Amino acid sequence: MSKIFVDACLGKDTPYTPVWMMRQAGRYLPQYMAVRSEVGSFLNLCHNPAKAAEVTLQPLDIVGVDAAILFSDILVVPNEMGMELSFIKGEGPKFSHPISTLEDLEGLLGGEEAATRLTYVYETIAILRQQLDARGDNKALIGFTGSPWTLATYMIEGEGTKTYNICKKMLYAQPDLLHKILRKVTDVVKLYMEKQIEAGVDVVQIFDSWAAAIEPSRYDEFSWQYMVEIAHYLKAKYPHIPIIMFPKGVAAFIERGLVYGDFDVFGVDWGTPMALAKEKLGDRYVLQGNMEPCRLYSQEATTQCVEALQTIMGGKRHIFNLGHGILPDVPLENAIHFVNECHRVSGK
């Protein structure tokens, strides 16, 4: 039996419009917090396949979404390339030795050597594949990665940043070094995604969370082309596996007609009006999104947006989602309301 979420990604007609939420296995869920407190740190949870699988599946039954997304973190990739990573409470991720030179980069593991070390991710997927098949409800499993640019920003800055001034100084003053970093990360990510597919995911999403840090005229050169390269690599080997691209904050890049590439779904962030995305991309890609996550603070604002999205998309070539991750302080009942409303307006 085909999965409604996979069918929707491939642009096939579905009985209703599927929905999931970015960061749906997250802190707004009391059941997630319970598992977190058992295992200790966030990274411990990423490294524990049984527990990571458990939290991955929680939103399926609790919230009612149509797809589960692998519980993991984008930064496991640079971590397994050899960069020491910690998550500091209230501050977020931190690499103890950021990359600033070619020597730093050459000291990292690349390609197969790095991708092989991400065993806990593939084990998590294998468990999930088995459990999802056993459920028999045909909910899909989404694998994911950060884009090379987004991963590189953390590798170069060492932590989250408001200005991206270190990596953007490199972008303008040492573009060759930045391209070498992006090349090495891209080569790892290709294999990482391939191994996620081999382990059993149904769909993959590439998150370019920091896309908006690059001016539109340089976005292709420093990010999009690498994402497209990964997509083409996977499409050549696994044409049946849908690929979702999610570059956050690129309304101008879309508007200027700069989006290209062989993939299936374009994830629309909440800063890009869905009508604009539909005009520019709707004939070439299925569109995913794009409710502003803060609307989840109000059931009324949620319903209003879900209905507006349904009016724009008409239930065709669309997947409901937020336009960014759900925030930790959203009431669980409001998340459930969102999912129910998406199903209601699209005829489930």
In whole angstroms, how close is the CB of 258 to a second copy at the nearest point? 10
| Paired residues of 267 in beta bridges | 288
Identify which of residues 49 and 267 has a Cβ nearer to a second copy in the complex: 267
Out of 7, 27, 220, 238, which one is annotated catalytic?
27
Q: Is 295 in the active site?
A: no
Out of 23, 129, 183, 284, which one is annotated catalytic?
23
Identify the residue whose tokens are 């998590």. 124
Identify which of residues 134 and 172 has a Cβ nearer to a second copy in the complex: 172
In whole angstroms, how close is the CB of 132 to a second copy at the nearest point? 31
β-pair type (85-88, 92-95): antiparallel
In whole angstroms, how close is the CB of 11 to a second copy at the nearest point? 25
Q: Is 23 in the active site?
A: yes
Out of 7, 16, 73, 120, which one is annotated catalytic?
73
Q: Is 117 in the active site?
A: no
- Which among 72, 84, 102 is positioned nearest to 192, based on CA atoms? 72
Identify which of residues 7 and 73 has a Cβ nearer to a second copy in the complex: 73
Please state, as a whole number, how many other Cβ atoms lie within 10 Å of the Cβ of residue 82.
14
Identify which of residues 40 and 92 has a Cβ nearer to a second copy in the complex: 92
Which residues contact a second copy by CB under 8 A?
160, 162-165, 168-169, 171-173, 212, 215-217, 249, 251-252, 255-256, 270-273, 275-276, 292, 294-295, 297-298, 301, 308, 323, 327, 329
In whole angstroms, how close is the CB of 166 to a second copy at the nearest point? 9
Q: Is 135 in the active site?
A: no
Out of 13, 16, 28, 36, which one is annotated catalytic?
36
In whole angstroms, how close is the CB of 28 to a second copy at the nearest point? 11
Identify which of residues 10 and 251 has a Cβ nearer to a second copy in the complex: 251
Q: Is 154 in the active site?
A: yes
Out of 28, 32, 154, 192, which one is annotated catalytic?
154
Which active-site residues does the annotation give?
Answer: 23, 27, 36, 73, 154
